[in-house]
A and B are shown apart, each in its own frame.
Chain A
Amino acid sequence: MILQMNHLQGKQAATSAQDVVGAVYSLLAEGHLDEAQFANLRVHLDWIQYRQNFREPVTVTQCANDRSDTAPVMEIRVDTRQIIPGGLREPMLRAMSVANSAMHPEVGNPSDRIYLEEFTSFRSSIAWQFNKLYWHHLSDWEKATGKGYEQALPGGKSDANHPEAIADCVADFWTLLRDLENKNQLPAEIFALEIGVGLGTRSRTWLDRFRALDAERATKYYPRLKFLLGDYSLATLDRSRPALTDHMDLCSFIVLDAIDPGKTLAFLRHKILHIHLTNVYDNLPDEEFARRDGKLYQVQTRTYVPLDEAARICDACGLTAAELSTVIRRLLDSGPESLGDRGISFWQEIWKAIRVEDRLVCLEDLPDVNLPANLTPAHLEEVLEDAPSDFRFHMSSGALESFRNTLPLLHPRGFLQVQDIFVTNLNDYRLGCHGPGKLDGSIVNWVNGVLLREVGERAGYDVHFAPFRYREGSRTSILYTTQRE
């Protein structure tokens, strides 16, 4: 057995570790685990960053490697934040039983949960439909909770709007324009794009600053600026308009898919001099992969609602358990208003209750596995050559595709900036859980910066990460691109 202590909080580690090892040994002694399973067992003591997440306190994941002669690898993950000292045996047994049913459908599904889908990559999970619902009905959610979405962020406000960070960004942009002008290469129309507009605060601050700098230096760039605000939610774009009143003449509000902005903006290929995103990548559909004993596995998940939670919610909403899946479907397809007065509270309760269980499926058994654009299994293997031999990591599929599909919009001398939470060293995946977590009604995952860097290099850009130095304790980094010559 390998015990891995991830990101534990001080002395709590020793107590948790003793409890966990004790529980595992008692399962071995009672015959719930055989010696071969024990030899291949990995136990992870995690501290989950997000108080609201998709995990039970104890989860067990098994690898499907039927072709192997050895016993399948089994992982037990214990969320030390939710652990009850001395109470591990029962949750462990239950989690093992769930994992067994995940690998062997013939034994039947566990009876203590209502499943909302079959096993699939998390990227295709119903959880992302909840995420989409949140952004499309943001004002309804905010009205019900009485707080804006930015207040749900760690720290209670968005790093997107930090005036100093914006001033530095504007200064870099102005320098680029001046350099192009000096070479007689400044286009007549100067395009800039913000993807994911929030309340429009960042765009307004950016434009105010740019106008002031332009006036101060008498360069007359501001009137040539075409500032595009892109978001996949029309409701969000509409909410941002009032903030941009002062700059309305040069602003365009465009509904676009952050995963493929080029689809909408194809006419601006190679023309946009600056593109910026804040906290968009961490909220795009993601999935996890794992490497175990030299093999690559896809983490497949299925979403469920624990039966006791389902019963409580149904009681409150006057539903039967049998109706639950149908009502959730209606919520996702037609919005909370389709469920009447209780729509919002039903949505919030279900979202809070949703959990995810998972299993690992060997990539060799998935010939049609869809890796994000431009990333082949061969390329992925190359990237992983220097990575830890046993670890689980985010593919950041939505982020990778967004990144790859945004780059062609850049003018040859243009640059992309992304403010987000990045994992920039694959080893960090062994130090703790990097999502998924729940932030109000949305999903958050740390973004795999290593893969972004690789994909960027193949697309002709060097990708750099700078810490967000404008707020002490911030976990944000700034990704920026430079041309790879």
Chain B
Amino acid sequence: MTLPILPTTVVGSYSMPGWLERLKTEYFARRISRHDLDEVHDTAVKAAIKDQETAGLDIVTDGELRRDNMIDYFVERLPGVDIDRSSKKFYYDFYDSSVSGKLPMAPLGLADDFRFLRKFTDREAKFCVTGPHSLTKRIRNNFYPSEEAFAMDLARVMNLELKELVKAGAKIIQIDEPYFSGFPEDISWGVNAINAMVDGVGATIAVHICYGNRYGKPSWEGSYRYLFPKILDAKIQKLTLEFARRGGEDLDVFKELPAPFQLGVGVIDVKTQAVETADIVAERIRKALEVVPAKRMFILPDCGCFHLPRDVAFAKLCAMVEGTKVVRKELGK
């Protein structure tokens, strides 16, 4: 599948509809069955795919609508992780979870969700997973001698899963590591864990790093400068980052990003419901083009659209696509 220049995509999640949120809560209250919830999820994912296609995105995801949040989807599947099921007040909360022994090697079943996505779209498809650094920040470690050791073992288990995703046809896999920005001192071992996770995985690997999007608000502030130079050791092809909300203040830092690294430029602020115009999007892309050439750039929101109302999320994606078209035209593409 040939992608246009400045390909457009989402970071991962799409708007969580109010009705789905309510039904997830109903499930936790044992008022609907797992079977019913699975059917609800299937329907919601199909709708999310359709919205992305209609908005005109080049690369789509399943909207991550099966996930309560970026952590629990994995915590529930990771073998050897103990979960306190009573620890959630509502579905979006994180479970209290912990490890008390070495993680056993076992499949997580993510490939089924990718196959579902693949079945319902002809577009290029991307699958997103949470990275080992972020997982270690949420799962209490009662066994490993260090967070780094824990992360490396998580990477070992996740590596097998990524290979399963590739077998299922995944060509683009994104690893989400928002906790890097909260713990910049961990960047060295965090990148090592990513490298262990993607070792021998035959897909294009993207890493997404933002300043957090819990409850639709940032968790940290600072500068992406902390990523350098270690990020250059990462065995990845794409780096997707948050720029729109912060006014692109860190963009200059990425002049140091050498080829063949590609930069995913966040041009939609997902922490506000104000919808950008195509002109604003185009202007943000032009600014990024001063730093990275078009052939090494792709376009996406700052982070997931999970917390935005559906109509707002859809309008933002449409503006993103329109703004990208304006710039493509200027580039003669």
Contact = CB atoms under 8 A, between A and B. Distances in A.
A16 to B, nearest CB: 41
A378 B23 CA distance: 11
A356 B217 CA distance: 41
A459 interface: yes
B144 interface: no
B272 A187 contact: no
B217 A413 contact: no
A412 B22 contact: no
Given A185-B220, A407-B217, A460-B216, 20 more contacts: A183-B222, A184-B184, A184-B222, A187-B221, A269-B272, A270-B218, A270-B245, A382-B25, A408-B271, A408-B272, A411-B221, A412-B217, A412-B219, A413-B220, A413-B221, A457-B90, A458-B215, A459-B215, A484-B215, A485-B214
A184 B184 CA distance: 10
B261 to A, nearest CB: 25
A485 B216 contact: no
B243 interface: no
Contacts of B218: 270, 412
B220 A483 contact: no
Interface in B175-217: 184, 211-212, 214-217
Contacts of A412: 211-212, 217-221
Nearest to A385: B29
A407 to B, nearest CB: 8
6 smallest beta-carbon distances between A and B, as pairs: A460-B215, A412-B218, A185-B222, A460-B217, A412-B219, A412-B220
Contacts of B216: 459-460
B332 interface: no
Nearest to A185: B222
Contacts of A461: 215
B89 interface: yes
Contacts of B271: 269-270, 408
Contacts of B217: 270, 407-408, 412, 459-460
B22 A378 contact: yes
B254 interface: no
Interface string B215-237: 11111111000000000000000
Interface of A: 183-185, 187, 269-270, 376, 378, 382, 407-408, 411-413, 457-461, 483-485
A137 B222 CA distance: 45
Contacts of B245: 270
Contact of B214 (A378, A407, A413, A460): A460
Nearest to B272: A269
A184 B224 CA distance: 12
B94 to A, nearest CB: 7
Contacts of A460: 214-217
Nearest to A483: B219
A275 B236 CA distance: 42
A484 B214 contact: yes
B29 to A, nearest CB: 9
B83 to A, nearest CB: 16
Nearest to B246: A270
B260 interface: no
Contacts of B94: 485
B257 to A, nearest CB: 21
A174 B309 CA distance: 37
Contacts of A270: 217-218, 221, 245, 271
B123 to A, nearest CB: 32
A376 B214 contact: no
A184 B185 CA distance: 11
21 contacts: A183-B184, A269-B272, A270-B221, A270-B245, A270-B271, A378-B18, A382-B25, A412-B217, A412-B218, A412-B220, A412-B221, A413-B220, A457-B89, A460-B214, A460-B215, A460-B216, A461-B215, A483-B219, A484-B215, A485-B94, A485-B219
Nearest to B274: A266
Contacts of B25: 382
A210 B212 CA distance: 30
Nearest to A376: B18
Contacts of A269: 271-272
Nearest to B138: A485
A407 B90 CA distance: 20
B68 to A, nearest CB: 14
Nearest to B269: A269
Interface string B113-126: 00000000000000
Contacts of A411: 221
Contacts of A485: 94, 214, 219
Nearest to A410: B217
Nearest to B222: A185
Contacts of B22: 378
A193 B280 CA distance: 30
Contacts of A378: 18, 22
